[in-house]
A and B are shown apart, each in its own frame.
Chain A
Amino acid sequence: MTAPAPAPLDADDFRRLVETHAAELTRYACGILSGDGDSARDIIQDTFVKLWQSPPADRSHLRAWLFCVCRSRCLDMLRRRGRIVGDDGSRAEHEPDEAPSPARALADSDAAGALFALVDTLAPRQREIVRLKFQNDLSYAEIAEITGLTATNVGFILHTAIKTLRARLDERSDLRE
């Protein structure tokens, strides 16, 4: 037996969803696409086309669903460009990490911006999860839903990222002393 198609979204509800989430999704996509704003906006457009045409049956996790679709589109784009190889978003080995080195990030930043600059020195997956957690205030469970990881894995990656950031901040303190 075929499951009934999800009910379409109300137009006003849809507009409200776009208003609420378009900017944060664009920022998230920009992060994955190394700041390529034009591609990010195209992806956000596609994401909302999908929401309008094929909304999820379960509307209780719409925000996570939007991030998930957006992420999937970003990874598709990177894959087409040969920038990643794995389904999990892992990068091609030949692809240099475009993140600045920690030393450079520290040199370029003042105290207030140090933490922000250091986030960009993390490995791509750590960086993504740190941003999902602290910039978008998503729970481990929601991040797991978006990234396809388990909540335990999300917790471990976040813990490792925080440890790395603390170590790099300590290096900064040592350099200043």
Chain B
Amino acid sequence: MNANAPLPPLTPDDPRLTALALGEISDPAERAALEKQVADDPALRAALDSARRLTDGLRESLAAEPLPFVNPAAIAAKAMGGAPAATRRRTSALGGSISAPRATTDGDARSRLVTFCGLGAAAAACLAVFVATRSPHEAREATDALVAAGAPAAPAPLVVLPSASRNDLGYLAKLLPGLPGAGAAFRPAGRAPLSLSASGARAYAAAFSRELVAGRRPAPSRTRVDGLVNAFIAGHRSPAGARPVQIEAALTDAPWNPANRLLRVTVRAHGATGEIVARNASASVDFDAAGVKSWRLLGHNGATAPTSGVALRAGESVTTLYEIEPGADSTDAPLGRVTVRYARADKSGADLAEVKLNASQRASLADTDADTRFAAGLAAYALNPGENTAAALAVAAGSDPERRAFAACAR
């Protein structure tokens, strides 16, 4: 600005007023002169205030638009013409075994989809939405991730959350506002119940989806997160010769509170499908005060689930979610252990499945396995249903058709 040149007077309809509201007047002398004019003129002050309110509203409104999901590792790998480092195995299995991704290798996935969506016209609508929302590009991207990983039979993070979440979980916090107090209260470290029955979960999820399609969002206080989670999380098949009962545990960030952790524990029985492989099973999680300040069960809402004296049939799996408030050392401290005691049905004696938990085994939401990511999405949505959590659930559904169908209902 030429200090000697007179500054044209501002008017309420002046682009310089908008620039002033947006901090775009870089010349200090010009800015000071304009601010003086505004200070001396009530009409200009009102116009500036109005512009600031509107631009603040625009920032807030546009920032709330979810970022589309992308797979940065696959994009980078393809661009560089090599394998992406980020697709390295990080399945978050803290113990037990994880084999192939359920959606692509589980032979009964399609029949379960038909069963799930065949429960009524409303659920059939889910399927229709699912078909409409499938994207060949997404399928291709998922395939790229697998191929780049070099081991198609192993689990891979087929779809990751928006890239911002990798660096800034505040983004997810914005997407997923705080839970309204649903779920059990936090308790100090110690023994926690671990459910051994998921009976009725799929029927519950089907009924839940019918409510959604009918335009009714079930109240969080009545929602059984465990029912939804168990309808979609089946655990993974064990390798041949494995013990009849196995435990999978995965630790990630609680989407609604990045300071807290979300623990998924899945107990799965193996053997000839339908056959009882374990009797008188009892299970628990013992949280260690060294790494856990407090914990709470997500979603049971006071309902009791059997945790002992249970017969387990091959093919059955039960998943339980916990929210954990970490102790002072949230990066490398013992969190406790998961234990399932049972008698082998073949009368070969008592047996024990056990997995130790450690804070160092945490994987971010972007890097955790697809089951845990979707379980986190289900919990967030069920406990705080809304557009943002529904959008996040759709992202977390990845390429699994059944999960996508449910997410479509939620939206």
Contact = CB atoms under 8 A, between A and B. Distances in A.
B22 A133 contact: yes
A44 interface: yes
Contacts of A61: none
B67 A23 contact: yes
Contacts of A134: 55, 58-59, 62-63
A108 interface: no
B65 A135 contact: yes
Interface stretch (A84-92, A93-101, A159-167): A159-167
A23 B61 contact: no
Contacts of B385: none
Nearest to A48: B79
Interface in A101-143: 112-113, 115-116, 119, 130-131, 133-135, 137, 139-140
Contacts of B78: 45, 49
A134 B17 CA distance: 17
Contacts of B32: none
Contact of B18 (A14, A37, A158): A158
Chain B interface secondary structure, helix, strand, loop or mixed?
A: helix
A26 B68 contact: yes
B62 A135 contact: yes
B61 A41 contact: no
A171 interface: no
Contacts of B59: 134, 137
Interface string A17-56: 0111111101100100000011011101100110110000
Contact of A22 (B15, B64, B163): B163
B72 A15 contact: yes
Contact of A27 (B68, B80, B137): B68
A166 B24 contact: no
Interface in B51-83: 51, 54-55, 57-59, 61-65, 67-70, 72-73, 75-76, 78-80
A23 B171 CA distance: 12
B135 interface: yes
Contacts of A165: 54, 58
A23 B163 contact: yes
A146 to B, nearest CB: 15
A26 B67 CA distance: 8
A134 B163 CA distance: 19
Interface in B1-27: 13-19, 22, 24
Contacts of A115: 54, 57-58, 61
Interface residue range, chain A: 35 or more
A142 B398 CA distance: 34
B18 A159 contact: yes
A23 B76 contact: no
A23 B79 CA distance: 16
A125 B333 CA distance: 54
Contacts of A5: none
Given A155-B19, A162-B51, A49 B163 contact: no
A130 B62 CA distance: 9
Contacts of B70: 22-23, 26, 41, 44
Contacts of A156: 15
A11 interface: yes
Contacts of B162: 23
Interface in B160-182: 162-164, 166-167
B86 interface: yes
Given A26-B68, A162-B18, A15 B86 contact: yes
A134 B80 CA distance: 32
Given A27-B67, A44-B70, A116-B64, A18 B137 contact: no
B65 A52 contact: no
Contacts of A41: 70, 137, 141
Contacts of B22: 133, 158
A52 to B, nearest CB: 5
A45 B68 contact: no
A38 B86 contact: no
A165 B15 CA distance: 15
A119 B65 CA distance: 12
A46 to B, nearest CB: 9
Interface in B86-115: 86
Contacts of A169: 54
Contacts of A44: 70, 75
Contacts of A51: 79
- Considering the complex of A and B, which 10 residue pairs feature the smallest CB-CB distances, nearest first? A159-B15, A23-B67, A135-B62, A159-B18, A38-B137, A48-B79, A134-B58, A19-B72, A18-B76, A116-B61
Given A41-B137, A134-B58, A162-B55, 13 more contacts: A18-B76, A20-B167, A23-B70, A23-B164, A26-B70, A37-B68, A37-B135, A40-B68, A49-B78, A134-B63, A162-B18, A162-B58, A166-B54
